[in-house]
């Protein structure tokens, strides 16, 4: 039985021709940013991928199909949609079976990309272990997906609202290579520094692509997590954003926000507390990740 994939003609043609393709998630559209910034950012990211020499494939679930590459009208419809499911491994099949609309998290986008034959995926930040996870066990499925699905994920690290030391300790336990680009420290999403030393440093798209191909030759399961620091001019220093995140988390706890509602609640509140700087930084880092992902995809096609 084949998966219910619907490839945009541009994506389908590129894949058959062996041209570089970059997968893009859709949760940033439905849960990460308000309208119209969400659709504007999605278009900017797609344009950035194209400018860097690859074909973008934004992924979402619509009308019982995994859409790999969205037409303009579909992108706009998704940006304005209400009651969109935020999909991970656990509920991807249910969304498809019921005909609901769903946006894809890192985990679901990796699954869809793998099904479509796309090796590289650009996102903002991955999910991970939430603060207090030692009691709540609130840990994103993204981490286990990275351990089992062979896609190279380009991010700015894990979202800074998370417990970063626990997140990267779990990735080490799961055998996921965590690669910092051009520096010896893992970035912390809005900030270039996290205080955590990177287990692996690579300085070029070609090196990252070579490592991806070598994992395939060795038969190793899982992907690579590439942590690309936000451009210096766009970052919010770690000490500054940490104070904001602590205040946002305290508010979420006081209001009883839990489960999948936590991340969008915190991101909205952090946007308010930083007077919109967090959103500007988010857009900058996503564009930077798209450029790097396109370069990696190009390097992979050269083998």
Report CA-CA distances (Å) from 258 to 130, 232, 254: 11, 33, 11
The tokens for 50 are 């194209």
> CB–CB of 19/120 below 8 Å?
no
The tokens for 128 are 């991970």
Element (H, E) at 180: strand 178-181
Residue recorded with tokens 């030393």: 197
The vertex-208 CA angle with 202 and 214, nearest 5°, equals 120
Alpha-carbon Rg of the chain, whole angstroms?
A: 18
The tokens for 8 are 């945009």
End-to-end CA distance of the chain: 31
The tokens for 116 are 């479509």
User: What residues are labeled active site?
Assistant: 25, 159
| Signed CA dihedral, 68, 89, 151, 184: sign only | positive
> CB–CB of 270/112 below 8 Å?
no
Q: From CA 253, how far away is CA 40, in angstroms rounded?
A: 32
Say how far residue 177 (Cα) sits from the centre of its chain: 16
> CB–CB of 229/192 below 8 Å?
yes
In this structure, the number of other CB atoms found within 10 A of the CB of residue 5 comes to 15
CB burial class (10 A; 0-12, 13-18, 19+) of residue 275?
exposed
């Amino acid at each position: 039985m084949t998966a219910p994939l619907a490839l945009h003609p541009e994506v389908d043609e590129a894949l058959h021709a062996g041209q570089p393709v970059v997968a893009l998630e859709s949760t940033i559209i439905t849960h990460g940013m308000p309208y119209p910034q969400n659709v504007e950012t999605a278009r900017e990211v797609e344009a950035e991928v194209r400018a860097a020499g690859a074909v973008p494939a934004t992924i979402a679930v619509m009308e019982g199909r995994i859409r790999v590459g969205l037409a303009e009208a579909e992108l706009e419809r998704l940006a304005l949609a209400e009651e969109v499911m935020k999909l991970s491994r656990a509920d991807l099949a249910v969304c498809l079976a019921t005909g609901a609309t769903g946006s894809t998290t890192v985990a679901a986008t990796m699954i869809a990309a793998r099904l479509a034959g796309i090796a590289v995926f650009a996102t903002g930040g991955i999910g991970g272990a939430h603060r207090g996870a030692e009691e709540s066990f609130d840990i994103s499925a993204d981490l286990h997906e990275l351990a089992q699905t062979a896609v190279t994920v380009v991010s700015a690290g894990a979202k800074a609202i998370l417990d970063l030391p626990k997140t990267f300790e779990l990735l080490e336990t799961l055998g996921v290579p965590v690669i910092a680009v051009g520096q010896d420290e893992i970035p912390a999403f809005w900030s270039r520094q996290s205080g955590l030393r990177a287990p692996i440093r690579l300085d070029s798209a070609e090196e990252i692509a070579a490592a991806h191909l070598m994992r395939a030759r060795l038969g190793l399961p899982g992907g690579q997590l590439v942590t690309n620091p936000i451009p210096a001019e766009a970052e919010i220093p770690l000490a500054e954003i940490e104070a904001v995140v602590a205040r946002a988390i305290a508010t979420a706890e006081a209001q009883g926000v839990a489960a999948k509602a936590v991340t969008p609640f915190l991101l909205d509140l952090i946007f308010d507390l930083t007077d919109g700087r967090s959103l500007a930084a988010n857009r900058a880092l996503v564009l930077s990740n798209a450029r790097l992902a396109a370069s990696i995809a190009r390097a992979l096609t050269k083998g």
